[in-house]
């Protein structure tokens, strides 16, 4: 069975997309292609990586190139398409109209996240957040299944939504013995540290 993971603006080695999903699917026997941000078409750990047509474009150009991203996706002729974040929403709808099996996966609560995007003029942020939130809700009803990373998102999306947290991979976090852990407090944060975070 062939799976096409569409994560057009994520770097190929993204932990959630590549390490947690693509590699896991490959190890389970799936044929996996990942359309993402990469320098060249190649195979890494059994996953076929293909450079997204929109990965190095600005936000407006990415929106205008959405039809080409859809065509790139469709060329994979996959059994299942796993689409990540609002950048892929239009592709989700078109694939479903063509009868394809689609999973929509949103990594953050964009109904809130958009409110902190400094590149969006402040008066427009609430409107855009509402549009994206409503479109995601529609996509969750339209797609075969939806994955979210935060529990509060389960309430605003369809019943075909599951929580798939973005927890660290324990084997990659250096931990000491239990006795040492009892003596000290550790906080592990994976992600960017910036003003909005």
From the options 3.80.10.10, 3.30.70.890, 3.40.50.10860, 3.40.50.2000, give the CATH code of 2-167: 3.40.50.2000
Contact 98, 7 (CB under 8 A): no
What pLDDT shows up at residue 69? 85
State pTM to two decimals. Answer: 0.85
Contact 83, 100 (CB under 8 A): no
Burial of 125 from C-beta contacts in 10 A (0-12 / 13-18 / 19+): middle
What pLDDT shows up at residue 173? 62
pLDDT in tens, 22-59: 999 999 999 999 999 998 999 999 999 999 987 777 77
What pLDDT shows up at residue 175? 56
Residues of the chain with pLDDT under 70: 172-183, 186, 188, 190-191, 194-197
């Amino acid at each position: 069975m062939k799976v096409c993971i569409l994560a057009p603006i994520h770097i190929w080695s993204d932990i959630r997309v590549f390490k947690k999903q693509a590699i896991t699917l490959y190890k389970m026997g799936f044929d996996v292609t990942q359309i993402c941000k990469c320098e060249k078409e190649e195979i890494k750990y059994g996953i076929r990586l293909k450079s997204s047509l929109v990965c190095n474009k600005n936000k407006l150009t990415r929106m205008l190139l959405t039809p080409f991203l859809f065509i790139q996706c469709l060329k994979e002729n996959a059994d299942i398409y796993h689409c990540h974040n609002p950048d892929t929403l239009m592709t989700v709808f078109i694939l479903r109209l063509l009868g394809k099996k689609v999973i929509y996966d949103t990594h953050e609560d964009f109904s809130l996240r958009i409110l902190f995007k400094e590149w969006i003029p402040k008066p427009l942020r609430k409107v855009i957040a509402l549009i994206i939130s409503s479109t995601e809700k529609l996509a969750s009803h339209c797609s075969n299944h939806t994955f979210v990373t935060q529990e509060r998102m389960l309430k605003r999306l369809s019943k075909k939504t599951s929580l798939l947290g973005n927890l660290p991979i324990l084997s990659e976090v250096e931990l000491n013995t239990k006795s040492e852990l009892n003596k000290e407090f550790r906080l592990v944060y994976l992600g960017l540290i910036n003003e909005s975070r």
